[in-house]
Amino acid sequence: MELEACIRTIADFPRPGILFRDITPLLGNPAAFREALDAMTAFARAADAEAIVGIESRGFLFGAPLADRLGLPFVPVRKEGKLPAARLTVEYALEYGESRLDIHQDALRRGASAFVVDDVLATGGTALAAAKLVELLGARVAGMGFLIELDGLGGRDRLAPYRVEAVLRLKEG
């Protein structure tokens, strides 16, 4: 199946100048969604992870099914203030301004290896913040998996110490 045909590109959303990659056509096509999950499951299996870390919110759509398929714990990394128990926070820079991500302090045991999942890799700032949270807990990043890598934004270079895999690579612009 041509998975790329299931990604819809919307210009100037949510702000002028952004080419938004809309994954809802893929989510709405069971064969395409399954094929994407098959590929991401293979990445996580090869990384030999002990847990799947999904980044809110579209990372949950891929991370939770992966955890179920692999029989691994699912760990949510959430936007600031959503997790109820004791948590750690990392601040990171966005194109404009900054944002924060949280993880529960008891989400991963020290030394555990975690596979980080999100829908889109752009500049890599979000995934890097999630990796920092994993490492603050004393766990290790076994790898990272994305549905889409946007070429030309430097995300892969920024994540260089980590093993990064993507189902689709799309040219930015």
Q: At closest approach, how far in Å is the CB of 50 from ligand AMP?
A: 23
| 58 binds ligand AMP per the rule CB under 6 A | yes
Q: What are phi and psi of 97, to 5 degrees?
A: 85, -155
Set 4, 80, 91, 95: catalytic member: 95
- Which is the catalytic residue, given 58, 69, 140, 163? 58
The verdict on whether 95 is a catalytic residue reads yes
Contact between 111 and 66 under an 8 Å Cβ cutoff? The reply is no
Question: How near is the Cβ of 111 to ligand AMP at its closest, in Å?
Answer: 27
Angstrom distance (rounded) from CA 66 to CA 26? 16
Residue 48 near residue 142, CB atoms below 8 Å? yes
- Per CB under 6 A, the segment of 41-49, 72-80, 109-117, 121-129 that binds ligand AMP is 121-129
Cα 29 to Cα 16: distance, rounded to the nearest angstrom: 29
Residues that bind ligand AMP (CB under 6 A): 18-21, 55, 58, 118-126, 150, 155
